[in-house]
Structure 1
Amino acid sequence: MIFEQGQRIVFIGDSITDCGRRDSAAPYGDGYMSLVQAFVTAARPDLGLRWVNRGVSGDTVRDLAARWQADVVDERPDWLSVKIGINDVWRFFENMPDAAVPLDEYTATLRTLLATAVERTGCRLILADPYLIESDHDDPQYVMTGDYAATVATLAKEFGALHVPVQAAFDRVLTSTRPADWAHDRIHPNLAGHAVIARAFLDVIG
């Protein structure tokens, strides 16, 4: 187990992290973050860990930058989990090019945000891939998402962060299932899909 007594763990990201944490499923949402929190708490209730969900549906890395001070730095995390990039890519395929985030901007912005968090809070980092639940690896959105996931893996090495390979986790389950078994739109998982993400986190955090 990577966590220590009384530590504060902040998760930030888009709708996959949000999952109703601001309304019907407060405070953790009903997605992967809630599952991770529940299983870690069940395994080590003695640690008295404090959990914070700061996911916001629809966010790109630009949106994270706009709220980074309030939702990350001011939260003073001991551990910060960042999972962002799906909307940055998806907007290209929704005919919303102005809202999409090119790879070079995504990389530079995320690098700056991570550096700011570490410098101002001393937190450790957990970086999770953006993904597409798709069996066809020649699909243009899958290919582009892979480039953004590769950036996350690179930044994880650069910052000495833990890396959660979410895309690889979905690729494994798709060898015997269909994308529709995990999400209706290849993006927003059902409960089993969130469990795939949560299991990838748990494998990394021990």
Structure 2
Amino acid sequence: MLEKNSKLIFIGDSVTDCGRDYDAEPAGWGSLGNGYANLVNAALTALYPEYRIMVINKGVNGNDILKLSARWQKDVLDLNPDYVSVLIGVNDVWRHFDNAVFQQRDDLVDLALYRQKYQDLIDQTKPQVKQMMIMSPAMFEPNRQNPMRAQVDQYRQVAEELAHKNGLLYIDTQKAIDHFLETTSSYILTQDRVHPGDYKGHMLMANTWLNAIDFDWKRGQ
């Protein structure tokens, strides 16, 4: 579904960041990190070279929807992308379960604020791009009754609702992860149930993203 000579931005938290060099030239060496954004770029370059798709990684470690919103103009709109893929939400949940609870912080993002801020980003961006892709926040946790997984599912449902409401492409990474977990332990892919530990987990995410845009893995054969 991507058009030739397009600019594609991936933006989100550490799952997108994956050690990218913040000082690198956009789409240049070191700029894509070592995660799913890099794998998507590799697939697009290798199998669709004539499309000349420019892939930019704007993931930042620790981001929640508030921090993402604060840098949206600079890291998305000012770059004039054709496509924007967003993965945000797991930190909005995680802060309800980590040391932030004991620090008694007052900046935790509840479900209503998450919905409001996400819709704000969509409103700013949709008129200026060919398409936005909403990736579901996800956990590598098979027990849906687990408190954190249950809350991630609530935020994931909001992301899905907003995608459908606004006519955006919804990419259900949680569904792909759940399918993997039906037969295989989460420890094959992750140590903390949130970050894909290596290329195996990121390959799962990249494959899900590429399939959603009708990428042809047999092209050229």
Range of TM-score over shorter length: over 0.9
The answer to whether 1:195 aligns with 2:203 is: yes
Q: Is the 8 A contact 1:8 1:49 kept in 2?
A: yes
Give 1:175-186 correspondences, 5 Å limit. Answer: 175-186=182-193
Q: Secondary structure at the match of 2:86?
A: strand
Instruction: List per-residue Cα deviations over 1:64-94 (Å, max 9, x = no partner).
Output: 1110110011011100000000100001010
- Which of the residues 171, 195, 214 maps onto 1:164? 171
**CA RMSD, Structure 1 to Structure 2 (Å):** 1.4
8 Å CA contact 1:81, 1:128 repeated in 2: yes
Q: Bigger shift: 22-31 or 147-156?
A: 22-31
Out of 36, 39, 42, the position equivalent to 2:43 is 39
After superposition, give the CA deviation of every residue in 1:21-67 in whole Å (9 maximum; x if it has no partner). Answer: 12697211110111111112211100111111100000000001110
Task: Tell me the SS of whatever aligns to 2:71.
Answer: helix
1:72 aligns with 2:39: no
- Larger Rg computed on CA atoms: 2
Amino acid in structure 1 at the alignment position of 2:33: G
* Contact 1:117/1:123, CA 8 A, preserved across alignment: no
Q: What amino acid maps onto 1:43 in structure 2?
A: L
Letter in 1 for 2:169: L
Gaps of 5+ in 1: none
Does 1:140 pair with 2:144?
no
Q: Contact 1:13/1:55 (CA < 8 Å) preserved in 2? A: yes
Match of 1:107 in 2: 115
Report deviation, 1:157. 0.7
CA positional deviation for 1:100: 2.8
Amino acid of the structure 1 residue aligned with 2:42: A
Q: After superposition, where does 1:115-134 map in structure 2 within 5 Å?
A: 115-119=123-127, 121-134=128-141
Deviation at 1:123, TM superposition (A): 3.8
Q: Partner residue of 1:87?
A: 91
SS at match of 2:145: coil
Provide the aligned length of Structure 1 versus Structure 2.
204
- Structure 2: tracts of 5 or more residues without a match: 215-221
Please list every run of at least 4 consecutive aligned residues from structure 1 whose deviation after the TM superposition is greater than 6 angstroms: none
Partner SS state of residue 93, structure 1 = coil
Note the C-alpha offset of 1:155.
0.9
Aligned-pair CA distance for 1:122:
3.1
What is the TM-score when the length of structure 1 is the normalising length? 0.95
Structure 1 Cα separation of the partners of residues 129 and 35 of structure 2: 27
Deviation at 1:95, TM superposition (A): 3.7
Please report the TM-score for the alignment, with normalisation by the length of structure 2. 0.89
Post-superposition CA distance 1:119-148 (Å, at most 9, x none): 3x2341000010111121110101000011
Instruction: Give the Cα–Cα distance (whole angstroms) in 2 for the partners of residues 80 and 128 of structure 1.
Output: 11
